[in-house]
Amino acid sequence: MFSAKENLLIYLVFLLPFMSCEAQPTYSNTPSFTRADTLRGMLRPERTCYDVTFYELDVEVFPETKTIKGSNTIHFEAKADFSSLQIDLFDNMEIDGITFDGQELEYRREYHAVFIQLPEQQKNSSGKFTIYYHGKPIIAQNPPWDGGFVWAKDENENDWIAVACEGIGASLWWPNKDHLSDEPDSMRISCTVPNNLIGVSNGNLRQVKMLDDSRNRFDWFVSYPINNYNVSLNIGDYANIKDSYKAADGDELDLDYYVLSYNKEKAEKYFAERVPEMLACFEAYVGKYPFWEDGYALIETPYLGMEHQSGIAYGNNYQKGYDGMTIAGLDFDYLLVHESGHEYFGNSLSCADHAELWLHEGFTVYMDALYVECKFGYESALKYYTRQRRSINNRAAIVGPLNVNFQGGSDMYSKGAWILHTLRSMTEDDDLWFKTFRSFYENNQLSNVTTQDFIDHINQSTGKDYNKFFEQYLYHPRIPKLQYKLKKRGKKLSVQYRLEADVEGFTMPLKIGKKGNYTKIYPTSEWQKIKLKNISPKEFRAAKELYYINTETVMF
């Protein structure tokens, strides 16, 4: 049984965010899409013709009017001959001009897409163009799930500003090629703010420049590929806390915490007790922190949290659980662990289409569970999975249609993690499983992957064919159901069983019997029979703590 507080927590963590109209669309088995969805989600020729190599983003923020102005210089390499390309910028943001080699370029706008006419570009050539723009970016109503700018005040009435835009798109506030498949190799981010505030972004701070008596510019540099939605601005009365973490090989990682000035003393102690321990757990399972040269940073924000690369948004108010409510009674900071886990899955290893976002979210929820196992033990991790299970609704497939910016629903979180947990249980060899899991990350870090890449890796590493398993769990809403009939015969329990699934020929190994003394079976769609010793019908169970399945008792 779950307490009212635990049920509320499960609802808040996994279900409530998806009620936002902009963060996640409501969808059925037959979703409909628009021209705007295609322009955003498809890799059309105007996008595939060029590869972004570097962004130079320069933004000035005006808190009093809730407006911004700036420019972005996009460096590119031509992947084909072309004279027209597509970038993206929300249509409520004004374009002041676009230039290439000192020449003003013509462009047209369609929904949030911008089609630019350039001089003829030859394949393998390189170039750059600059977009100048200004406007009043969308204000987030329910950040981070409902994307946009957050214009808040701290306890001292200082401006406290942040932005989160996963799903809705980075183009809500800066012009870019807004598709997950194309990340720049590196990026410069300059943020100009009132001189009583600090501007914090991703990567390393290169310099602070006083522009006049009232404005300062903060120049940041990201030295790794970065998802567009991970690019962020954080502006406030910040104090900087510096620390370090020593990896198993002796390398030292720079740790930076940007917290509201009046929270500095509390934050220094809080993060020192939690961050190194967490990084060590993640390192043990999947390797060293992926953005070593840029360092690890937490930035206090006026919303709960977001996985902004090398500058994680943290708004959990220095408390355990999710906004103060624990998960499975475990004493750890859920937001800190979850958003940090995204540095591996989501930021380093990234999907190429929103329809496969489970590769970010399901894998990171699994990382949460691995942290629980590392800190509290395997039994606590099983208890944690059990709590997660209540958030799964199984109303739609995890992987949706490609090329239309389709983001799926909440099942990509907990159901995605349960898929990985089930695979581990089916493997029955932790050495093999963790070698497989880690090598998938190591082989694909700092790159984009697809679901099929993961399926192929699992099949190759384990030497087994899991295609039907993934087809059932990822492309059908329902999960397999183990049906069984029980009859006591003397000292033995006769069990008839079969597996009900959507995929023809689906089977998977399962364990049944008495907890602590399970027997393995290989159910199919046909009825089979087994006799178990020293167990009563009341003691009989399927190992649902190990496999994500449903069960049903069928009467003789």
- The tokens describing 63, both together, are 């808190």
Quick one: how many helices (H) and strands (E) in the chain?
11, 29
Would you state the pLDDT for residue 489?
85
CB-based contacts of 367, cutoff 8 Å, min separation 6: 282, 285, 286, 337, 338, 341, 344, 345
> Which domains, ranges and CATH numbers included, belong to the chain?
481-553 (2.60.40)
- For residue 3, which phi and psi values (nearest 5 degrees)? -70, 160
Give start and end residues of each alpha helix (H) in 287-410.
Answer: 334-341, 358-376, 378-389
Residue 250 pLDDT? 98
**Rounded (10°) CA dihedral 189, 190, 195, 201:** 0
The contacts found for 154-158 with CB under 8 angstroms, 24 or more apart, are 154/236, 154/237, 154/260, 154/262, 155/260, 155/262, 156/237, 156/262, 158/196, 158/197, 158/236, 158/237
Structure tokens given for 164? 């989160």
Rounded CA gap, 375 and 26, in Å?
37
Longest dimension (CA), the chain: 91
Q: From residue 113, how far is each of 41, 94, 181 by CA, in Å?
A: 11, 13, 17
Per-residue confidence (pLDDT) for residue 31, from 0 to 100: 67
421/472 Cα distance (integer angstroms): 15
Task: Report CA dihedral (529, 533, 538, 540) to the nearest 10 degrees.
Answer: -50
User: Cβ distance 414 to 378 under 8 Å?
Assistant: no
Question: Does residue 419 sit in helix, strand or coil?
Answer: helix
C-alpha pair distances (Å), 461 with each of 142, 436, 438: 41, 6, 11
Phi, psi (degrees; rounded to nearest 5) at 350:
-125, 150
* Separation CA 238–CA 200 (nearest Å): 9
Q: What is the pLDDT along the chain (556 residues), one digit of tens a residue?
A: 334 334 434 444 444 343 333 333 333 355 688 999 999 999 999 999 999 999 999 999 999 999 999 999 999 999 999 999 999 999 999 999 999 999 999 999 999 999 999 999 999 999 999 999 999 999 999 999 899 999 999 999 999 999 999 999 999 999 999 999 999 999 999 999 999 999 999 999 999 999 988 999 999 999 999 999 999 999 999 999 999 999 999 999 999 999 999 999 999 999 999 999 999 999 999 999 999 999 999 999 999 999 999 999 999 999 998 887 888 889 999 999 999 999 999 999 999 999 999 999 999 999 999 999 999 999 999 999 999 999 999 999 999 999 999 987 889 999 999 999 999 999 999 999 999 999 999 999 999 999 999 999 999 999 999 999 999 999 999 999 999 999 998 889 999 999 999 999 999 999 999 998 999 999 999 999 999 999 999 999 999 999 999 999 987 6
Alpha-carbon separation of residue 238 from 132, 155, 235, 297 (angstroms): 29, 13, 8, 13
Q: Name every residue whose Cβ is closer than 8 Å to that of residue 238 and which is 6 or more positions away in sequence.
A: 197, 198, 200, 258, 259, 260, 261, 299, 300
Enter the tokens of residue 486: 């029980």
pLDDT of residue 26: 35
How much is the pLDDT for 556? Answer: 64
Number of neighbouring beta carbons within 10 Å of residue 33: 16
